[in-house]
């Protein structure tokens, strides 16, 4: 079973309408209205908070039948949005993954799903975001390591980005491998990202790092 939503609308319109592939229910999602909005927060796991820039998540949940579906690659590109309006919670992402288990997912779907799971896990169980104290279950931890493993070994997107690759090594506890990758970097342009990641890796810290706060980089180039 490979179900994709019907997509109506164009980037110029205020709303994009997604039609649930399971029950036909319609869901309006607000389009990008203000490009170049201020980044309130950027984290090293690529979580971005941009309050003035409504964005669309790649996995949607139908409010009517409760099923999950991907906005497929072409549609996603059409709406020209690289992240978020309705962020699924970690427990919803787990439900979605179970449902997707019986579907043939494309590589692109998996790229999006595992990155969402990584950020969802970090958001839920790593306290820096919201002073949360929730503890992951054994199953949650297993899913986290499955995610790290998939992103490091199967993801093309992660392989293309050595900083993200290094960061995922660190978040998975592969500190020395992370340090080895980043120690040799001479290009100064990304040092505001690399330096904090490297420092955390040397301290044996797997938590995501806040890189931008209120539009300002927290580390120097
Ligand atoms: Zn539905």
pLDDT, tens digit, 9 for 90 and up, residues 154-213: 999 999 999 999 999 999 999 999 999 999 888 888 899 999 999 999 999 999 999 988
* 71 CA from centroid of ligand 1 (Å): 13
Centroid of ligand 1 to alpha carbon of 156 (angstroms): 31
Report CA(114)–ligand 1 centroid distance (Å).
Answer: 23
Expressed in angstroms and rounded, the spacing between residue 77 Cα and the centre of ligand 1 is: 23
Distance 25 CA to ligand 1 centre (A): 5
Mean pLDDT along residues 74-86: 51
Length of the chain: 221
User: Is residue 6 pLDDT above 60, yes or no?
Assistant: no
Give the residue, 205 or 32, on which the prediction is more confident: 205
69 C-alpha vs ligand 1 centroid, how far in Å? 9
Instruction: Give me ligand 1 centre to Cα 64, in Å.
Output: 5
In this predicted model, which residue has the larger pLDDT, 156 or 74? 156
Confidence band (pLDDT; 50, 70, 90) for 11?
very low
**Separation of 100 CA from ligand 1 center, angstroms?**
14
Looking at residue 81, its pLDDT comes to: 46
> Among residues 49, 33, 30, which one has the least CA distance to residue 41?
49
Ligand 1 center to 124 CA (angstroms): 26
Query: What is the per-residue pLDDT for 1?
Result: 39
Q: Separation of 150 CA from ligand 1 center, angstroms?
A: 29
Who contacts 95 (Cβ-Cβ below 8 Å, separation ≥6)?
68
Which stretches of the chain are DSSP H helices? 73-78, 90-100, 107-125, 138-153, 156-159, 162-171, 175-183, 191-202
- For the chain, give every domain's residue range: 6-217
Distance CA 35, CA 101 (A): 35
Residue 84 pLDDT exceeds 70: no
Reported pTM: 0.80
Task: Decide which of 165 and 19 is more confident.
Answer: 165
pLDDT band at 88 (very low <50, low <70, confident <90, very high): confident
13 pLDDT higher than 90 = no
**Of the ranges 27-31, 107-111, 197-201, the best mean pLDDT one:** 197-201
Contact at 8 Å (CB) between 58 and 76?
yes
46 C-alpha to ligand 1 centroid (Å): 29
The answer to whether 177 touches 16, Cβ cutoff 8 Å, is no
pLDDT in tens, 113-171: 999 999 999 988 886 655 666 789 999 999 999 999 999 999 999 999 999 999 999 99
Asked if residue 119 lies in contact with residue 46, where contact means CB atoms within 8 angstroms, the answer is yes
Torsion-angle region of residue 89: left (phi > 0), alpha (psi -120 to 50) or beta? beta
How far is it, in rounded angstroms, from Cα 31 to Cα 200?
A: 37
Gap from CA of 99 to ligand 1 centroid (Å): 13
């Amino acid at each position: 079973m490979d179900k994709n939503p019907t997509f109506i609308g164009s980037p110029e319109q205020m709303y994009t309408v997604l039609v649930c592939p399971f029950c036909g229910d319609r869901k309006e999602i607000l389009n990008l209205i203000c490009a170049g909005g201020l980044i309130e927060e950027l984290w090293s796991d690529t979580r971005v908070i941009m309050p003035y820039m409504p964005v669309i998540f790649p996995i949607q949940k139908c409010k009517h039948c409760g099923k999950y579906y991907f906005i497929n690659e072409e549609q996603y590109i059409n709406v020209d949005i690289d992240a978020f309006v309705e962020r699924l919670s970690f427990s919803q992402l787990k439900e979605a993954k179970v449902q997707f288990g019986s579907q043939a997912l494309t590589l692109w779907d998996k790229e999006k799903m595992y990155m969402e799971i990584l950020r969802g896990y970090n958001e839920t169980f790593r306290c820096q975001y919201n002073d949360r104290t929730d503890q992951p279950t054994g199953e949650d931890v297993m899913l986290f390591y499955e995610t790290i493993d998939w992103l490091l070994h199967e993801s093309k997107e992660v392989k293309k980005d050595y900083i993200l690759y290094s960061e995922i090594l660190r978040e998975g506890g592969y500190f020395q491998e992370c340090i080895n990758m980043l120690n040799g970097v001479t290009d100064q342009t990304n040092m505001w990202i690399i330096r904090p990641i490297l420092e955390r890796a040397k301290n044996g810290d797997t938590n995501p790092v806040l890189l931008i706060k209120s539009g300002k980089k927290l580390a120097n180039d």
